[in-house]
Amino acid sequence: MSAVVTSRREGALLYVALNRPEKRNAIHRELLLALIDAVAAAEREPEVRAVIVHGEGPVFSAGVDFGMLAGDLRGEPALPFRTLVGDMQAALSRLEAIEKPVIAALHRYVPGLGLELALACDFRIATTDCELGLPEVRVGLVPDVGGTTRLVRTVGYARAKDLILTGRMIGAAEALAIGLVNQVVPPGEHVAAAARLAEVIAANAPLAVGLAKRLVDLGSNVDKHTFLAMELLAQSVLLRSEDAREGARALAERRPPRFTGR
């Protein structure tokens, strides 16, 4: 049996793929946990500077594997379902907290849990033929693996209500216009485009990139003065790093810096 998640490293980039093409990469608990484990492995590898998440086969992901929900939909005890969803919420929160940039390379179809996964990444690149949305209300459910929370924070209340309450799927052009995706590229070029973005980020000081990511994520929900204090604390840590000294030397010597992540 082939692995439901595969990974490969190329230089400073780690590519992690959903690998259930025969099931249109439908996501169940085991796949999601395996995906998070694969991405989290980047934290243990200093040479990895960025992660790209993509899907094998014709679509990024068809969303949730409804077979996983069968027990609860038959009216069996609710606690196992809540535990299941809690595990999946924790997994995406873990993905979001990784101090390395994670880029979702999306193609063709990204509904429900597929989009919730993408929303937990730092950047989303979509193909022009991509459709995205949270259609849970159409089957009597709500987005419950962080989709509601992260969509509001990504596109704002009004647009989030539009997408969640209508359950409609939108095209890549509209997704770009509302800030749901960062870039739109021709079909077949999403992974390469993600790699180009990742290489730009990977050239920067990794400690600074990691702390900047956490500052944005954590600071967006605090008051201005707390956010400013967080900036000062992060900067005081970075000023003592070897990378900051290397950055200053490289600037003075007019050469590209050689960052080590220390």
| Number of separate helices (H) and strands (E) present in the chain | 11, 9
Which residue in this structure is represented by tokens 């949305």? 133
Please identify which of the residues 43, 116, 131, 242 carries the catalytic annotation.
116
Please identify which of the residues 30, 43, 96, 136 carries the catalytic annotation.
136
Coil/strand/helix, residue 124: strand
User: Amino acid identity, residue 76?
Assistant: E
Residue 255 half-sphere exposure toward CB, CA atoms < 13 A:
7
Output DSSP code: residue 55.
E
φ/ψ of 74, rounded to 5, equals: -85, 0
Active-site residue flag, 136: yes
Question: First-to-last CA distance in the chain?
Answer: 40
Percent helix / strand / coil, the chain, rounded to 5: 50, 15, 30
Rounded to 5°, angle at Cα 132 from 130 and 135? 145
Active-site residue flag, 253: no
Residues catalogued as catalytic: 116, 136
